[in-house]
Structure 1
Amino acid sequence: MKSTTLAAAIMGLAVALAGPAHADRDIDFANELHTYGIYGPRDYNAWLGKIVCERLDKGVDGDAAKSVRFITPNLQKGTNQVQTDPAKAWKFLGASINTYCPDKRGVYEQAAAQQGR
């Protein structure tokens, strides 16, 4: 019985001393998008960012350009001005990868390298 009480006390202390939890990734994503002038419903943009990563993971979009072609018509029209600033779709892709699938950064970096040629 004493060992159970001691274990519970140690667990309680560990929880009490733990650092604050990391901020919500969806909020971090929205904040990054705002730095690029991309607004719109936070939940929708987060959902779209996660779908972008899922499509990359499953091979639906084999490269960054295909992802951008998916993103462009799916961003909320009128609130993001993607049609007048196509670079925002690329920024949305980069933010999606940074936040939800950093293991896919190579896809974005490869596209950037090809543009630099």
Structure 2
Amino acid sequence: MKRFAIGVAAAAVALGLAAPAAADPDTAFTNELNTYGIYGQKDYNAWIGKISCKRIATGVDADAFEAAQFVHAQLEKDTTTDQAWKFLAAGLRTYCPDKLPILDQAR
């Protein structure tokens, strides 16, 4: 009985310390943007990423160039074109990976 109680306690501790099954995509997106020197409000940046996906899906942005231009216009004035493209790529990877081929078409 004592071994059973120890086993149950060990299992409870292991479950309590286990990492969540799925990380918050908005946090992961923010962390990736930070590696590119892109900062700002987490929710706002996530909105830009998600709305970019919707604009591509609905044809508002016909190609990656238009999507990157939209993203660039939403970011701070000192954001570079390279950062806008990195933002777009990160957004597609995070929120709509099925739209990633639009980047290949831009090459």
Q: Within 2, Cα distance between the matches of 1:93 and 1:66?
A: 11
Measure, in 2, the Cα distance between the counterparts of 1:37 and 1:109. Answer: 24
User: What is the rounded CA distance, in whole Å, between the counterparts of 2:32 and 2:19 in structure 1?
Assistant: 24
Q: 1:19 to 1:31 in 2, by over 3 A?
A: closer
Tell me the amino acid that sits aligned with residue 92 of structure 1: F
Q: Please name the residue that 1:94 is paired with.
A: 89
**Match in the other structure for 1:46:** 46
Deviating beyond 6 angstroms after TM superposition, the runs of 4 or more aligned structure 1 residues are none
What is the TM-score of this pair, normalised by structure 1? 0.72
Equivalent position of 1:103 in the other structure: 98
The 5-angstrom pairing of residues 1-117 of structure 1 reads 20-77=20-77, 81-82=78-79, 85-111=80-106, 114=107
SS in 1 for 2:100: helix
- Alignment RMSD, CA only? 1.6
Unpaired runs of at least 5, structure 1: 1-15
Runs of 5+ unmatched residues, structure 2: 1-14
In the TM superposition, what is the alpha-carbon distance from 1:110 to its structure 2 partner?
1.6
Separation in structure 2 between the aligned mates of residue 34 and residue 19 of structure 1, nearest angstrom: 23
